Amino acid sequence: MSRPAGAAHPWSYLLGRGPAARPPGPPRFADTARRTLAETGVRGSRAAASAPLRPSRARGRAAEPDWAALRRHATAVRERALAGLERHLTEFEKRAEEAGVHGDTSHIKVEE
């Protein structure tokens, strides 16, 4: 799993940079989601799947005195994790190699 100095991290697409950051061709997720949700059947399926979750979410919001603060905290945690993603991935890769996991990930292709 080692890579030459200066080579892009195999997961650079997650970091939003490098040659895999925005490959030409496939549509963006938001465009695909907008088109898919415009289909009546998909909207009905989504509504049916999420309906059982609504009461639980409402109970959770009612139990939390400052829901907005909790959301701000969750946003900060996510941003901190993403800011350190390259470091986390590199550390994971190092520990995996130390544990005996070896392999070439260059063949892995991610479709958006």
Q: Kindly compute the dihedral angle of the four CA atoms of residues 49, 78, 57, 112, in this order, to the nearest 10 degrees.
A: -10
Contacts (Cβ under 8 Å, ≥6 apart) of 12: 18, 19, 20, 21
**70 or 108, higher pLDDT:** 70
pTM over 0.75: no
pLDDT of residue 55: 93
pLDDT of residue 60: 87
pLDDT of residue 72: 93
Quick: pLDDT tens for 27-61: 677 888 888 878 878 888 888 888 999 999 899 88
